[in-house]
Amino acid sequence: MAVLVVMLAGSVTTAVPLFVASLGNAAPSAAVVYSHIGFSSAFFVALGVKLVLLGARAGPSRARRLWSSLVAHVGSALSGYTLLTGGLLISSSAWADQHLAASFWLLAVIGVHSRQYGRRAVELLGGALARSGRARGPERPGSQPPAVREATPVGAEAPLLDGTREPFQPPGEGVPRAASKTDVAPAVGARALGAGARRRLVVVGTGLAGLAVVEEALRRRSAESWRITMLGEEPGRTYNRILLSKLLAESCDRHQLEPRPASWFAANEIDVRPGLPGASIDLQRGAVVDCRGGRHRYEALVLATGSRPIVPPIPGVEAGHVFSFRTRTDVERIAAAAAAPASAVVVGGGLLGLEAAAGLLAREMQVTVIEASDRLMPQQLDAGAAAMLERALARTGVGALVGRSVRSVEARSVQLDDGQQVAADLVVIAAGIRPEVSLAREAGIETRRGIVVDDEMATSAPGVWAVGECAEHRGSVYGLWAPLLDQARVAGASLSGSPGAFAGAVVSTTLKVVGVSVFAGGSQAAGPGQREVAWSDDERGTYAKLVLNGDRPVGALAIGDEALGREFARMLSTGEASAELLAAITPSKTASLPLEQPPSVAHSDPGAPSDPVRSENMSRETELVCLCRQVTRGEIVRAIRVGGLSTRGDVARATGASAGCGSCGPQVEALIALAS
């Protein structure tokens, strides 16, 4: 940028004598002419090269946005130069020509980029009017924007702004009161003056990823800068899908799944439209058409449409006792069907299937997991880890049949591919997910397996971003919370005009399945030039494996040892293995290391019984507790003490810790106990 400014300044300066000479019909010197040509040519060549390089890296739509940004910066530099020459003109008329030339170039730049400058001026004027309106006094009672209440479907059982409740009704059995056949008006009530100047952000999808984009956009720019609409397919506000197994197990209620209360959406004037999904996108006019014909115009559009469950074409799968395990409504239906103790079969032994099995087991059901692969969690675990997990689950009462598939679903059983019958009063399908890309594909946005995005999470359409399970970045589609949160942060920064890039992620999973802790991250097996060390203890039910590239950890597995799993997560996050662990598994010692005796690793359980250990843990302020949101131990302890926080939910709302995958929940609860 500095080179561009220097070249532009030289071009403007040398243009002055040429302009003066033309007025006096005099011939300018050859040196001035050549200097002007050189500066001007260098400026436009440098500008073009920068655009080409950035465009090649980020794609055509990004290049168009970069052009706008570069012209805006050039205009800013010229504004300063014009003011400088204007000030000098006051003291000496000799600067008249320079000021005239600078003004001419500035007007040219403003003319080229008048839309952006005009829009920004309107935003600033509208924000000033809104702030002055609020400064005159409080709003009248009832003028609070009815975003959440108006967005709730008729009869939805959700807390409203006035604290009342209405009965629940599924989507499709009532018309959202805010829906319209015409352009949808913003629900901003008495703040209409300020709202007229805001950029319109529409988020299609009310899941955690879409909400995280909104949070980042609000954090980076004042609330007056955005008028936000969220269109959702499901009833109710945003909830944490990761905790659905806890809802099924009755260890939390449906409202505890919601990361933000109704008051937060109202305070930020976010117009939430549950039960009103997007039906089509008009890219030419910048509008999303919802399922009832309402048009929602936008300057920025975020697609967070998530994914759909894969239902295999099994005969009998349409029966009334067969359910998917994907949404809060699915869980409520499964819970109703599981009211009486009975037998259940879960089709799919991946992450989702094991979470469903854990929830059903908590309801005192006899559970069998059927997995077509040769092991449980085939995407995350190697054979040794999967075998240890299978044995641990068997001790809790969850049976697993691997390398088997379901041939058909009967009234009270399922038939396997070898003819075996497995009792099943209830069947849950958790056989995988597929990115939901139909809305983007029908609009002409580039899709492959998911919606194709660049490093800024921008799609092939200008002004449109995609995040979450529907987005495909560098050929990968992510389904875990930590990388999706990173995507949301980058998208929120990008649509706010700030630089940001998502470069991919080392995928890791931390969970508890029926009390059995599981950690899996990075590579399952060693590649060329790498080595792996594994150890297990059948009696304790633990298995661990570390994949190293030199001394750098690139993959890790831990079954049955939560503290070691957290240490592995830290190592993969920082790219550094602990010196103690490396000393224990050096090649000279590996041969003598008993398989049943794992290397000594400093456990980071803040609830350890020893007081010195507690004191030491409390003092490690920079240690990451929440890997999803990068929240440290010190930040959590300070929030607890300053805010008088007493529950895990309080900490989640104050710091974000445990609000994602929830794996750090026990550590957060232990810190609450220690800090109180």
Q: Tens digit of pLDDT for each residue in 287-300?
A: 999 999 999 999 99
Task: Choose the weakest-confidence range: 130-139, 477-486, 546-555.
Answer: 130-139
**Residue reference for tokens 């003819």:** 419
Of 576, 564, 575, 562, nearest to 664 by C-alpha is 562
Domain 198-308+435-495, CATH 3.90.550.10 — does that match?
A: no
Domain ranges in the chain are 2-112, 198-308+435-495, 322-431, 523-590, 611-675
> What would the mean pLDDT of 43-47 be, rounded to a whole number?
67
Residue 143: per-residue pLDDT: 32
**DSSP 8-class letter at 168:** -
Residue 297: per-residue pLDDT: 96
Residue 386: per-residue pLDDT: 96
C-alpha to C-alpha distance for 209 and 211, rounded to whole angstroms: 5
pLDDT at 465 > cutoff 80: yes
Residue 499: per-residue pLDDT: 79
Question: What are the φ and ψ backbone dihedral angles of 469, each rounded to 5 degrees?
Answer: -70, -15
Across the beta sheet with 398-402, the strand order is 322-324, 426-429, 343-347, 366-371, 398-402
**Residue reference for tokens 């929602």:** 296
Task: Choose the weakest-confidence range: 112-126, 307-321, 419-433, 653-667.
Answer: 112-126
Residue 107: per-residue pLDDT: 73
The residue length of the chain stands at: 676
Query: Regarding beta strands 300-303 and 199-204, do their DSSP bridges make them parallel or antiparallel, or are they unpaired?
Result: parallel
Residue 406's H or E segment, with its range, is strand 406-409
pLDDT at 645 > cutoff 90: no
Tokens standing for 75? 């205009």
Contacts of 33 (CB under 8 A, 6+ apart): 18
The b/e string for 251-289 (b: 16+ C-beta within 10 A; e otherwise) is: ebeeebbbbbebeebbebbbbbbbbbbbbebeeeebbbe
**DSSP 8-class letter at 69:** H
Residue 36: per-residue pLDDT: 65
Residue bearing the bigger pLDDT, 189 or 280: 280
Residue 604: per-residue pLDDT: 39
Average pLDDT along the chain: 77
Fold for the domain defined by 611-675: Arc Repressor Mutant, subunit A (1.10.10)
Q: How far is CA 35 from CA 30, 32, 602, in A?
A: 8, 5, 68
Q: How confident is the model at residue 168 (pLDDT cuts 50, 70, 90)?
A: very low
Q: Residue 122 in contact with residue 245, Cβ under 8 Å? A: no
Cα of 138 vs its chain's centroid, Å: 35
Residue 13: per-residue pLDDT: 65
Give the chain's radius of gyration (CA, Å).
30
Residue bearing the bigger pLDDT, 261 or 180: 261
C-alpha to C-alpha distance for 534 and 609, rounded to whole angstroms: 29
List the end-to-end C-alpha distance of the chain, in Å, as a whole number.
52
pLDDT at 161 > cutoff 80: no
Domain 322-431, CATH 3.40.50.12280 — does that match?
A: no
pLDDT at 182 > cutoff 60: no
pLDDT at 162 > cutoff 60: no
3-state secondary structure of 590: helix
The residue type at 382: D
Of 252, 100, 140, 174, nearest to 648 by C-alpha is 252
Q: How confident is the model at residue 332 (pLDDT cuts 50, 70, 90)?
A: very high
**Residue reference for tokens 């038939």:** 415
Across the beta sheet with 413-416, the strand order is 406-409, 413-416, 421-423
Task: Choose the weakest-confidence range: 139-148, 258-267, 330-339, 434-443.
Answer: 139-148
C-alpha to C-alpha distance for 399 and 357, rounded to whole angstroms: 10
Q: How confident is the model at residue 498 (pLDDT cuts 50, 70, 90)?
A: confident
> What would the mean pLDDT of 385-412 be, rounded to a whole number?
95
Residue bearing the bigger pLDDT, 82 or 471: 471
Q: Give me the CATH code for the 523-590 domain, please.
A: 3.30.390
Residue bearing the bigger pLDDT, 453 or 587: 453
Summarised one tens digit per residue, pLDDT across range 404-446 is: 999 999 999 999 999 999 999 999 999 999 999 999 999 999 9
> What would the mean pLDDT of 44-51 be, rounded to a whole number?
65
Identical fold between 198-308+435-495 and 322-431: yes
Residue 20: per-residue pLDDT: 59
Residue 255: per-residue pLDDT: 82
Residue 38's H or E segment, with its range, is helix 30-58
Q: Residue 426 in contact with residue 434, Cβ under 8 Å? A: no
Residue 547: per-residue pLDDT: 94
C-alpha to C-alpha distance for 560 and 516, rounded to whole angstroms: 6
> What would the mean pLDDT of 365-385 be, rounded to a whole number?
95
Tokens standing for 486? 């990173």
pLDDT at 15 > cutoff 50: yes
Measured from the Cβ of residue 206, the count of other Cβ atoms closer than 10 Å reads 28
